[in-house]
Structure 1
Amino acid sequence: MFLHSVGAGLAAAIVAAPPTTARSAPLPAPNRIPADPALLSASDAAALLQAKRLHPRELLEACLHRSARFDGPINSWVRTYPELAYEQAEQAGRRLAAGDAPLLCGLPIALKDLIAVAGLPVTACSRVLAGNIAAGDATAWQRLRDQGAVLVGHAQNDEFGFGGICAQTGNPWDTTASVGGSSGGNAAVLAARFAPLAVGTDTGGSLRIPSSRSGVSAIKPTYGQVSRHGVVPTVPSRDHIGPMARSIADAALLLSALTGTDPNDPATATASAVPQGGYPLTATGGTTPLAGQVFGVDRKTMDQLPAALGVLMSGFLDLVVRLGGRLRDITMPELPGTLLDDSVEIGRYHHQWIDRLGLYQPASAAMVTSGLAALAAPIEIYLTFERERLRYQHNYNRLLIENDLAAVILPTVTNDRQERRNTPPDPLDTSPPTIGANYCGAPVVALPIGRSAATGLPFGVQISGRPWSEPELIRIGLELQAAEPVWEEMPDLPDGTRELPDTARSAPGRGPDPTGTIVVPPPFRFVPTTATS
């Protein structure tokens, strides 16, 4: 079933899933604390925090110090919240000392500037929302807060999540190059080691594209697996909230805390339960851990890659085979396409600022104007697009089933480098190979596979599966990253101190939504499916 409306009565009956507090998932056991604790992965830091060998305050201080020392040319943070963060670090320290704290407790985190935290600004990196204060907490942040996460700050993103470059932020590997978007600030924070974890959104690749360009990892979960309540929408029917981190293990640790039903977001009624003890964090290992699994490879997309990226992709596929996997050539289904796409959803949300069009950046203004115009189009055109999207869902599922595929492997981007200040003609360009997973709501893990011999910049792949197959995809990612830990590489950062934008907490805003804006649901609610017809 594709178009489905969940009534208020059913939504109220959904019981919000409690955050997982299980600590049974195995963690690595670091032998030492580095001179700069900010260099620790989330898993290593969690192990040290749980063992009481590291205090959350020490870890936070290291992240803030490193940010102040290097964020000048990168400009990854929109705002930081040191006063609040130190308070949270001390609280986490007390929970850890008591000996019964969740694995996430004490870990510093960045949020995309679309995610509401009560009493703090949430501006979508737009002049349109200048001075806007969140009226409440996004469900995603509430769950992390309850488990003891430490909020360092909000990171930069493309305005309202529309773009794919995040031009205000430099790539830590080369600050003249694009960091990718729209969750570009998150990716920069992770690559530069300013924080070990981040939460972003993905509407057409916004978790995966910056991860690929920055050498970090991400998980775009199944649509509805993580609540969108309290998050500024981009295109609601394909907005996904998900974790970003340096490795798939770290992202899985964060996803365990984010997942669950939420009566404020009816889409989460379809969310699958987190495995007992959380998602897996360690690889099985051995010589052929992928034995018996078949992976689809779209050669047409592969052929679009420049030579240097083609070499990296071929090497990665060789790794899959060495670990026991088998490859099968496939052709990805044709993307949905009609005279009018889902831009009407943009128009429904941004209509509240029709008197502020002059405050949008030019590319965003064009997108918003198009969305506003779409509101006047006959509803049948929108319905036709939704039928095309359902066709794509069915065709994608059939592709996996008929070819007995464990997953599909695609490059995340098809160009070697993008300039930091180039503006794309269409902020929600449908050409990247990432957008198909947003149309069908399928889960994807994204991981780096090396750096281009032509530019020296990172490049990554995305591995997608059937809806609700997060545990299987995470296991695949863990095995690949254990065999070749490319994710451990880090850039040599240029010197560039920055006085971090220090913002204090204030009284919550008026609402009505936690974001302080008027959020309306899409005309029809999208529900992921495993059906083929």
Structure 2
Amino acid sequence: MPTPLSRRRLLGAAAVGAVTAAGFGGRTASARRRLPPPTSVTETDPALLSAIEAATLLQSRALHPRDLLDACLGRSAEYDGSVEAWIRIYSEQAYAAADLAAQRLATGSAPLACGLPIGLKDVFAVAGLPLTASSDALAGNIAAGDSGVWRRFRDAGMVLMGHLHTHEFAIGTATPQVGNPWGTEYSPGGSSGGSAAALAARFTPCAVGTDTGGSLRIPASACGITAIKPTFGRCSTSGVIPLTWTRDHTGPMGRSVADASLLLSYMAGVDVDDPSTSVGPDVPANGYPLSAVGGPQPLSGIRFGLPSTATEELPESVGVLFSAFLDLIRRLGGVIVDVRMPTVPTGLLTGDLAEFGVYHQQFVDRLPSYRPESAVAATAAVASLGVPVADYFSLERERRRYQHEYNRMFAEHALDVVLRPGALTDGIRRDTLADTSVFAGARENYFWANYTGAPVICVPAGRSTATGIPFGVQLGGLPWAEEALISTALELQEADPVWRDTPSLVSSPRRIPDVRTTRPGPGPSPTNTDDSGPGFRFVPTTSTAAV
């Protein structure tokens, strides 16, 4: 077993090592795809390192994966009592993975993500470990296999810390069992609320979530972290408990754009178990960008579309943050153009509910085990299965028409990016949550990206002076435009690194349930539930043709 390096030796060792530029497909990476030099890292607490900072120290062997894991588990145990982001941890398996990662790192040619701890939203299957979607209805369920996303991370040498809470079955936008680290009386957003809260609290440098109607972007905005909702089909959904098969996206979450971009480089790609991943251009061979170009006006010539109604519902306390973000874009050379977003067809919700109901009909005898608000939503979804098939396919045609209209908006205004607020409220208190279903509320602010399948990055833009809760901004593009969006977001964060702000946590120790790997469930699906879904998937397009 490799001997862990102490923190006293870390900075001295960092000054010696040089980080390899390999890691993505074994090719030499361009300067913007390389990790920063180890000597640039000034943080001395491993738990407070960003994913990029931790990766550069791991690669230079200035930091041992066990030391990093120790710090993350220790911080989680010390502070998660008030946040409760973790539903389970897997320390025995994690330490074994950390030791294997150390052996790979010792060769000097390990993937850039090797040794990084990660938390998975409790909808991603890992063989032999519990998978419950934060619901009593799946108590005792053991995954039969690995999700496509976890296979990729495991093969890259990442260290699974545990599963993170989701709003039950990813149905809602609140994750009410989790506290926001910036104010635990507030919601962290949802449904990937546990993932966002764990990142903000510095329990883990990496996490992943899902997005069906804002479930990556809402918690990213509320917790002051970054999330990337990739193009539909860019990342696998195999082995993931579904909400609606034709609108579910899996995506990376990190403290910064660079952190999320590093994860996306390993998360994206073809998975034979998810045919949607075979559509579209190849993932960049050397991965996605990790650093900004910099300079006085790095966004010169970039055109940002701002919908005329985008700010109408914003409270003044976060409206000023959105305005400041627009000023930052202009200062960096970007051009803001007034646009009118196409209207999301209201009837599409009927098709969403039908897909939702198809999955949950297998649990109709367990509905009393659901949280009351989830049971109401699932019951309505199962009842919606009476929708005629012809109507369902008519709705899918409406969705295609909407996507083409979205693409035409980009073409007519020569846009590179479209802007939307990351939230329409200044935080939401956990004791005042009402209808939190992903199928209710501010659909226009989020559904545009799920119906078009277009990529979106949600980045922090500061914190409200009224509540102290963070606020983010969505940057959307055309399908398959992840690389360009990441490059743009990197410039914005380089100029205004508010992502480095860290919440002040009060010690609240918690004995987090620690589970060992056991015999996998019988399957046949990795989730050990019936998640087969329809025999087709949505296919994103950049076409502008009238439908």
Give the structure-2-normalised TM-score. Answer: 0.92
* Further displaced range: 320-329 or 269-278: 269-278
Q: Please tell me whether residue 80 in structure 1 is matched to residue 89 in structure 2.
A: yes
Which residue matches 1:410? 420
Cα distance in 2 for partners of 1:224, 1:418 equals 32
**Which residue does 1:485 correspond to in 2?**
497
Greater shift, 386-395 or 477-486, is seen at 386-395
Task: State the alpha-carbon separation in 1 of the partners of residues 38 and 461 from structure 2.
Answer: 24
1:434 corresponds to 2:443: no
Q: Equivalent residue for 1:28?
A: 36
Q: Could you tell me which amino acid in structure 1 is paired with residue 374 of structure 2?
A: S
Q: Is residue 400 of structure 2 the alignment partner of residue 390 of structure 1?
A: yes
3-state SS in 2 of match to 1:218: strand
Between the aligned partners of 2:218 and 2:430, the Cα distance in structure 1 is 14
1:261, distance to aligned residue in structure 2 (A): 0.9
Supply the distance in 1 between the matched residues of 2:28 and 2:196 (Cα, whole angstroms). Answer: 27
Q: Supply the AA of the counterpart residue of 1:387.
A: R
Question: Which runs of at least 4 in structure 1 moved beyond 4 Å after TM superposition?
Answer: 18-23
Matches within 5 A, 1:171-250: 171-250=180-259
Partner of 1:528: 540
> What is the one-letter code of the residue matched to 2:405?
N
Q: Which residue of 1 is the match for residue 509 of structure 2?
A: 497
Partner Cα separation in structure 2 for residue 399 and residue 174 of structure 1: 39
Amino acid of the residue matched to residue 153 of structure 2? L
Aligned match of 1:8? none
Question: Closer, same or farther in 2 for the Cα pair 1:425/1:530, shift >3 Å?
Answer: same
Q: Measured at CA, do residues 462 and 147 of structure 1 come closer, stay the same or move farther in structure 2, by a change above 3 Å? A: same
Tell me which moved more, 515-524 or 458-467. 515-524
Which amino acid in 2 is paired with 1:412? G
Letter in 1 for 2:309: K
Aligned partners of 1:437 and 1:443 also within 8 Å: yes
Cα distance in structure 2, aligned partners of 1:21 and 1:125 = 38
Q: What is the CA deviation profile of residues 100-158 of structure 1, one whole-angstrom value per residue up to 9, with x for unaligned ones? A: 10000000000000000000000000111100000000010001001100000000010
Report whether the alignment pairs 1:342 with 2:335.
no
CA spacing shift, 1:233–1:19, aligned 2, 3 Å: farther
Match of 2:278 in 1: 269
Deviation readout 1:341-390 (Å, 9 max, x if unpaired) = 32111111111112111111111112211121111221222223212211
Q: How does 1:258-407 map to 2 (within 5 A)?
A: 258-338=267-347, 340-407=350-417
**After the TM superposition, which of the residue ranges 347-356 and 138-147 deviates more from structure 2?**
347-356
1:464 to 2:476 alignment: yes
**Structure 1 residue 29 displacement after superposition:** 2.0
C-alpha change, 1:277 and 1:337, in structure 2 (3 Å) is same
What SS class does the counterpart of residue 300 from structure 1 fall into?
A: coil
Q: CA deviation at 1:521?
A: 2.3
Distance 1:421 1:380 in 2: 42
For the Cα contact (< 8 Å) 1:20–1:256, is it kept in 2? no
AA in 2 matched with 1:492: S
Q: Write the letter of the residue equivalent to 1:144.
A: F
Shift of 1:33: 5.9
Q: Is the 8 A contact 1:22 1:278 kept in 2?
A: no
Deviation (angstroms), 1:523: 6.0
Whole-Å separation in 2 of the counterparts to 1:494 and 1:395: 49
2-structure distance, mates of 1:440, 1:91? 41
Shift of 1:522: 2.9
Structure 1 residues 19, 241: closer, same or farther in 2, change over 3 A? Answer: farther
CA distance 1:202–1:282, change in 2 (3 Å): same
Please give the secondary structure, in 1, of the residue aligned with 2:333.
coil
Please show how residues 8-87 of structure 1 align to structure 2 within 5 Å: 20=25, 24=29, 25-31=33-39, 32=41, 34-87=43-96
Closer, same or farther in 2 for the Cα pair 1:251/1:22, shift >3 Å? Answer: farther
Match for 2:202: what amino acid? R
Post-superposition Cα deviations, 1:428-451, rounded to whole Å, max 9, x if no partner, equal 225241121001100011100100
Structure 1 residue 474: Cα displacement:
0.3
CA contact (8 A) 2:24 2:111 kept: no
Residue deviations 1:474-526, cap 9 Å, x none? 00010000000010001001220111211111011111100011112236421
Compute the displacement of 1:423 (Å): 3.7
Relative to structure 1, the CA distance from residue 324 to residue 211 in structure 2 (aligned partners, 3 Å threshold; closer, same or farther) is: same
Closer, same or farther: CA 296–419 of 1 in aligned 2, 3 Å: same
- Distance change in 2, residues 1:256/1:366 (3 Å): same
How far apart in 2 are the matches of 1:430 and 1:102? Answer: 41
Larger CA deviation: 425-434 vs 53-62: 425-434
User: For 1:421 and 1:515, how far apart are their aligned partners in 2?
Assistant: 32
Distance in 2 (CA, whole Å) between partners of 1:204 and 1:130 is 26
- 515-524 or 28-37, which deviates more: 28-37
Q: Superposition pairs for residues 157-176 of structure 1, below 5 Å?
A: 157-176=166-185
Root-mean-square deviation (Å): 1.4
Q: Which has the higher contact order (CA 8 A, sep 6+)?
A: 1
Query: How many residues are aligned here?
Result: 516
> Which residue does 1:132 correspond to in 2?
141
Question: Structure 1 residues 280, 162: CA separation in 2 closer, same or farther (over 3 Å shift)?
Answer: same
Is residue 24–residue 285 contact of structure 2 (8 Å, CA) maintained in 1?
A: no
Q: Is the 8 A contact 2:86 2:194 kept in 1?
A: yes
Identity %: 52
Supply the distance in 1 between the matched residues of 2:57 and 2:398 (Cα, whole angstroms). Answer: 50
Could you list the per-position Cα deviations for residues 195-241 of structure 1 after superposition, in whole angstroms to 9, with x for gaps in the alignment?
00001100001111101000000110000000100000011110000
Aligned counterparts of 2:113 and 2:28: Cα–Cα separation in 1: 10
Residue identity opposite 2:145 in structure 1:
G
Q: 1:21: how far off?
A: 5.2
Which residue does 2:7 correspond to in 1?
Answer: none
Give the TM-score normalised by the residue count of structure 1. 0.95
Q: For residue 153 of structure 1, what is the aligned residue in structure 2?
A: 162
Q: Which residue of the other structure, out of 110, 122, 132, is the alignment partner of 1:113?
A: 122
Q: Which segment is superposed worse, 482-491 or 377-386? A: 377-386
SS in 1 for 2:538: coil
Q: Give the deviation of 1:340 after TM superposition.
A: 2.3
Cα 1:77–1:259 change in 2 (3 A) is: same
Does the CA contact (< 8 Å) of 1:191 and 1:214 recur in 2?
yes
Unaligned stretches of 5+ in structure 2? 1-22
Q: 1:421: how far off?
A: 3.7
1:92 aligns to 2:104 (yes or no): no
The structure-2 alpha-carbon separation of the partners of 1:502 and 1:123, relative to structure 1 and needing over 3 Å to count, comes to same
